[in-house]
Amino acid sequence: MNAIISASELVSDLAGDTPPVLLDVRWQLSVAKAAGEPSFDGRAEYAAGHLPGAVFVDLDRELASASGERGRHPLPDLAAFGAAMRRAGVSSDTPVVVYDGGQGWAAARAWWLLRWTGHPDVRVLDGGLPSWRGDLSTDVPEPAEGDFEPVARATGLLDADAAAALARSGVLLDARAGERYRGEVEPIDRVGGHIPGALSAPTNDNVAPDGRFLPVEELAARFKALGASDGTEVGVYCGSGVSGAHEVLALAVAGIPAALYVGSWSEWSSDPARPVAVGPDPQ
């Protein structure tokens, strides 16, 4: 199953016998705020207009737990996450489509969490809300309670030690902007740089100017050039496990499974004992 869906495909699916549950995850990281404070969420934008029937999901409060030693967006408590998804109408046998304001990061975080906890049919609206050409609604839906019960998978998730090991034995991709990877700037976390052995692979390079993903062949070629292909053990991290989820999504579109280090640089850099590499080279 494709991990993304176009706006035209979504129109068709919504008119079908089993229309997907729609989740609006509009959110934007604000580097002007101190680490640990909530970032911008799209609740006001949701109220002003959203896909008809879509339920708003708060990334900071429902797709993550409180900022701390495990990073700025650690895994949510699974019981609380499951309750939030059921309130939104998510059931295990009903397809789900998630979207955000167009960047794709927040939608990818919801996609990754649902997939990692066992939902079999989740897709991201390619290009987000700007790709939608239909009407918007200001009505707030009250969906029937869903039955989704999240169960953490044994694979697909990295901690700090596993990420460090993967940088040596496989391919660990750093999804942040290149200047943060190189340590030239660090607007949020304690120190700049990257995990030794990680390769710079900004997730923004996976999309066209309109926010849609590049064609599958281009994505596959990009990741192959980085040493990542089907059969290679691949991991991804970013600043706090949000844009990294978007890179995991891009890899999935290219047919390459990858694990996510959710704590990411915000967790790694918080411990002065962990090594930090700077400059353009992995080591």
Q: pLDDT for 132-170, tens place per residue?
A: 999 999 999 999 999 999 999 989 999 999 999 999 999
- Kindly report, as residue ranges, where domains of CATH 3.40.250.10 are found in the chain: 4-131, 157-268
pLDDT at 38 over 50: no
The phi-psi region of residue 175 (left if phi > 0; otherwise alpha if psi is between -120 and 50; otherwise beta) is alpha
Give the pTM.
Answer: 0.95
* Cα distance between residue 219 and residue 119, in whole Å: 25
Stretch 183-197: mean pLDDT: 95
Stretch 184-206: mean pLDDT: 96
Helix axes 105-116, 243-253, angle to 10 degrees: 70
- Spatial neighbors of 195 by CB under 8 A, at least 6 apart, are 163, 164, 167, 172, 174, 237, 265, 268, 275, 277
Give tens-digit pLDDT for 86-110.
999 999 999 999 999 999 999 999 9
User: What are the DSSP calls for 158-216, one per residue?
Assistant: E-HHHHHHHHHHSEEEE-S-HHHHTTS--SSSSS--B-TT-EE--GGGGB-TTSPBPPH
pLDDT at 33: 43
Stretch 25-35: mean pLDDT: 65
Stretch 236-262: mean pLDDT: 97
So which residues are the catalytic ones? Answer: 238
The CATH code for residues 4-131 is 3.40.250.10
Stretch 181-209: mean pLDDT: 96
CA distances from residue 75 to 36, 223, 244, 263 in whole angstroms, order as listed:
14, 26, 13, 8
Fold of 157-268: Oxidized Rhodanese; domain 1 (3.40.250)
**What average pLDDT does the chain have?**
94
